[in-house]
Amino acid sequence: MVNKVKVVILGKEYVLQTEEAPNYVYGLARTLEARIRENMDKGASQYTAAIMTSLSALDDLNKSKAHLDQISDQTKEYVDDAGRARIERDAALKEIEVLKSKVAQLENTLKLRKLKDNT
């Protein structure tokens, strides 16, 4: 559902069409205005402050995407490691079963020898 949301940023009204909830868009507008005002407080014109704020937001976005990619790659490595560990565990369990069978076989052989020796 597309919402029409009216926000005011630095005294100028904007009507946005978005699928986001109005309260979310209002929060974005307040944050944007606050960041622009911070740059204006440092002596930048409104236009320059808007450009600086935009560049800063894009920088944050790019760094967040890079961090997300890094986390995704790391997660894939963990999943691969877990898969390899599961395969190794399964192989070890099979080996344990084989060894248990051999131990049981040896114990039976030993019992038979003891019986033969006692008779």
**Do residues 52 and 41 lie in contact, with contact meaning Cβ atoms separated by under 8 Å?**
no
- DSSP states of 2-65: -EEEEEEETTEEEEEEESS-HHHHHHHHHHHHHHHHHHHHTT--HHHHHHHHHHHHHHHHHHHH
Residue 26 has phi, psi (to 5 degrees) of -60, -40
pLDDT at 118: 81
**pLDDT given at position 68:** 98
pLDDT for res 117: 87
* Residue 18: per-residue pLDDT: 97
Q: Is the full-model pTM beyond 0.85?
A: no
| Mean pLDDT of successive 10-residue stretches along the chain, which has 119 residues | 95 97 97 97 97 97 98 98 98 98 97 87
Task: Tell the residue number behind the tokens 């622009």, with chain if given.
Answer: 36
